[in-house]
Amino acid sequence: MPILVMKFGGTSVADLARIKNAAQKVRAEVENGFNVIVIVSAMSGKTNELVGWVNETSPLFDAREYDAVVSSGENVTAGLMALTLQEMDIPARSWQGWQVPVQTTSAHSAAPIEEIQNDNIMAKFAAGMQVAVVAGFQGISPEGRITTLGRGGSDTTAVAFAAAFDAERCDIYTDVDGVYTTDPRVAPKARKLEKISFEEMLELASLGAKVLQTRSVELAMRYKVKLRVLSSFEDMSDNAGTLVCDEEEIMESNVVSGIAFSRDEAKMTLTSIADRPGMAAAIFGTLSDAGINVDMIIQNISDNGRTDMTFSCPTEQVKRAEEALNASKEHQSLNFEALIADTEVAKISAVGIGMRSQSGVAAKMFNTLSQEGINIKVIATSEIKISVLIDRKYTELAVQALHDAFALEATA
Amino acid sequence: MPILVMKFGGTSVADLARIKNAAQKVRAEVENGFNVIVIVSAMSGKTNELVGWVNETSPLFDAREYDAVVSSGENVTAGLMALTLQEMDIPARSWQGWQVPVQTTSAHSAAPIEEIQNDNIMAKFAAGMQVAVVAGFQGISPEGRITTLGRGGSDTTAVAFAAAFDAERCDIYTDVDGVYTTDPRVAPKARKLEKISFEEMLELASLGAKVLQTRSVELAMRYKVKLRVLSSFEDMSDNAGTLVCDEEEIMESNVVSGIAFSRDEAKMTLTSIADRPGMAAAIFGTLSDAGINVDMIIQNISDNGRTDMTFSCPTEQVKRAEEALNASKEHQSLNFEALIADTEVAKISAVGIGMRSQSGVAAKMFNTLSQEGINIKVIATSEIKISVLIDRKYTELAVQALHDAFALEATA
């Protein structure tokens, strides 16, 4: 029988009623002829409670004990989901990570999955079991300790199971009904995409569209796992969601598939630094050591052997970045005149595979913003993405204007 | 290094502050030169929450899933306890049942322990670890599923570890500071016992002194594990608790060690039943099938081939017992004239190893009650115990009078 992976996040299993609702969706897929592997998160709020206890007990905690404590939330949901399915007369049982086993490295709290052994569960499917409920977000290290996979771990578990079991598809049930051309709260004309390529989804995910974690999209792309994002709060019939798939499966690529934005950006500029080899390495080595997530980097042209370096980072990390850079300056390893932080910016990005073959996208983007009187502070481009930093107060205006300019409200 | 097992129940690890308090007691024993195995329960209230969810999800639940869900509470405490000890610079780590492993049968929800492998933890002790924190109440079945041990499971885990690791002693930390000659709330003269024999403790436990579960005392007796009951809420110095040990270690046995009582008893009498072989089997087979916990059984002398049969059972089971017996009567397999239930009785017991060699204990007990004008309704005796049923309203009077009569307030 074909295998389907279905993943339910924390809000989709927040209480017994929602677990039952999720189980009904599983039943529907069993009736469609699938053997189903259900990946569950902890009931929403539970993981935070456990993490809170660990932090209060031991601020610099032993990650192995953190994992042993925090993984318990998923185990509870897995057992309850199996019981709920059994009440519906569906043969089901729960698995914890170590029982499958989901083998990971020993990098506790953020352990990559090394291998998922499928013989155990396959044997049960062969013996008539219809649903395997697996606690997401966890595995077992070579030393036999419990590991957790870190942020987005349950999505990653789901995709890894889909790959290991050669599943027909991996359905990620969440609290939104798919991937949109942009955030509907900002641009009411935003349209749900029927399909999107892995590459575009990766850019959108890393740009703040929080539907799927980057890591799970990367994994899906590598193993060509068809991912579907859909709502656990809607009826199956109206609930096609968005399919994230290989580029080839999308007949007609849009030039631009979506407009992403992030209000959580700050722009920092180091003025008048020496324009010599090793300076960039010194600056970004310092920032990396301080744990700063640098995003865009722009170096202006040199003038008399001095240049300016601008980068962006999350607003909350500005203070830490300033401290690290100023400390480096005191130790003489870095030399700059001034450090200017602008915490009132937003990043707006147009993402689309069609850009590769279409020219004029950047020009159209800049022209649109200019017509709205929006000044562009920084530009960065990649193969399928153009990003700009602008004044934060223009975020909505820019997103709506670009959404219109690239005609994203029209059906594909 | 000698090994000590310390067990902390739910109220002793109810929150992070209490876990810290418990950890300080562990540290004191590490400083005393012990390698310590700490057995923990779930934080109080957590197991009930999990059991509630399971019951609501599936009233006739699959016990394997019940165990997978309910065992998670102990795992959380074990990790938090290990972290708390690490914060005190004590090398510690947590173990879940399957990691030790604690091998049990497949009798989910009430699984007896088959074997505890000690090489894993012993190797860690040899490598410098000082404390192994083990999640109590759980194990792993031959099929690799998680099991729980049922009522009193954490006490049983503690005693089983003490046996498997040949521990110096097994200290059970709880919310009382030891075993008393009787309940101090009923008889203010009650005295804490310094030592008590396994046999006496078994009688007291099964008679309603809720300090230790019967099962763990039985196990301790079988493997000659020295058990100590003491309070987790008192300072170590004033906290000697009560040692439960082999009879030989108690120099001078008291004739009577304690007066136990239970107000939760009912007396039921079947009148005029046929006095022929098989009648007792029919009655108590019927009650056993209905899940009734029959305690005392008394058969009067026969009169013209008819006799009366009296037994006691918990008050809450009276209705069920009546239904079962009346149903049996209708099916003609049982024949009795009337079924008389007296739900206003209490059971009072005198327990003591010295009874074996001393005569006159029963006479003294009956005489004492008679002097107080208390009528005895039923008498039952064993080698080290005399129990009577009396009117419930005389409970305190009887306990105090017997406590005085056997001079239990005096220091041993």
pLDDT greater than 70 at residue B376:
yes
Find the closest chain B residue to A144 by CA distance. Answer: B99
pTM of the model: 0.81
Which region among A247-256, B145-154, B271-280, B388-397 has the lowest average model confidence (pLDDT)? A247-256
Q: pLDDT category, B177, cuts 50, 70, 90?
A: confident
Decide if A164 contacts A122 (C-beta within 8 A).
no
pLDDT tens profile A285-325: 888 888 888 888 887 777 777 888 899 998 989 999 999 99
Whether A79 sits inside 8 A of B66 (CB atoms) is yes
Cα–Cα distance for residue pair A127/B406, rounded to 1 Å: 66
pLDDT tens profile A335-348: 888 999 999 999 99
Q: Which of helix, strand or coil describes residue B217?
A: helix
Mean predicted lDDT score pLDDT of chain A: 90
Find the closest chain A residue to B83 by CA distance. Answer: A58
Alpha-carbon gap: B80 to the closest alpha carbon of chain A (Å): 6
Find the closest chain B residue to A89 by CA distance. Answer: B58
Whether B80 sits inside 8 A of A16 (CB atoms) is no
Asked if B99 reaches chain A (Cβ–Cβ under 8 Å), the answer is: yes
Chain B residues in contact with A50 by the CB 8 A cut-off are: 76
Cα–Cα distance for residue pair B260/B207, rounded to 1 Å: 6
Chain B residues in contact with A146 by the CB 8 A cut-off are: 96
Q: What is the pLDDT of residue A220?
A: 94
Residue scoring higher pLDDT (B169 or B330): B169
Chain B residues in contact with A68 by the CB 8 A cut-off are: 75, 78-79, 82, 94, 96
Helix (H) or strand (E) holding B149: none
pLDDT tens profile A378-403: 888 888 889 999 999 999 999 999 99
Q: What is the pLDDT of residue A361?
A: 87
Q: What is the pLDDT of residue A49?
A: 95
φ, ψ for residue B351 (rounded to 5)?
-125, 135
Length of chain B: 412
Q: pLDDT category, A247, cuts 50, 70, 90?
A: confident
pLDDT tens profile B38-50: 999 999 999 999 9
Asked if B62 reaches chain A (Cβ–Cβ under 8 Å), the answer is: yes
Q: pLDDT category, B412, cuts 50, 70, 90?
A: very low
Whether A58 sits inside 8 A of B83 (CB atoms) is yes
Asked if A88 reaches chain B (Cβ–Cβ under 8 Å), the answer is: no
All domains of chain A in start order, with CATH: 3-175 (3.40.1160.10), 259-405 (3.30.2130.10)
Among A243-252, A287-296, B135-144, B351-360, which range has the highest average pLDDT?
A: B135-144
Q: What is the pLDDT of residue B278?
A: 78
Cβ-based burial of A299 (10 A; exposed 0-12, middle 13-18, buried ≥19)? middle
Report residue B347 as tokens. 């059971």
Q: What is the pLDDT of residue B43?
A: 96
Alpha-carbon gap: A13 to the closest alpha carbon of chain B (Å): 13
Find the closest chain B residue to A88 by CA distance. Answer: B58
**Averaged pLDDT for residues B182-193:** 88
Whether A72 sits inside 8 A of B75 (CB atoms) is yes
Helix (H) or strand (E) holding A229: strand A227-231
Q: What is the pLDDT of residue A206?
A: 64
Q: What is the pLDDT of residue B253?
A: 67
Handedness of CA A87, A88, A91, A93 (dihedral sign): negative
pLDDT tens profile A122-178: 999 999 999 999 999 999 999 999 999 987 899 999 999 999 999 999 999 988 888
Alpha-carbon gap: A122 to the closest alpha carbon of chain B (Å): 16
**Averaged pLDDT for residues A213-239:** 86
Strand partners, A306: A274, A303
Query: If you write DSSP's letter for every residue of A345-400 in order, what string do you get?
Result: EEEEEEE-GGGGT---HHHHHHHHHHHTTPPP-EEEEETTEEEEEEEGGGHHHHHH
Q: What is the pLDDT of residue B329?
A: 84
Residue scoring higher pLDDT (A251 or B71): B71
Mean predicted lDDT score pLDDT of chain B: 90
Chain A residues in contact with B91 by the CB 8 A cut-off are: none
State CA A314 to chain mean position distance.
16
Out of B62, B68, B78, the one facing A68 most closely (by C-beta) is: B78
A49: left (phi over 0), alpha (psi -120 to 50) or beta: alpha
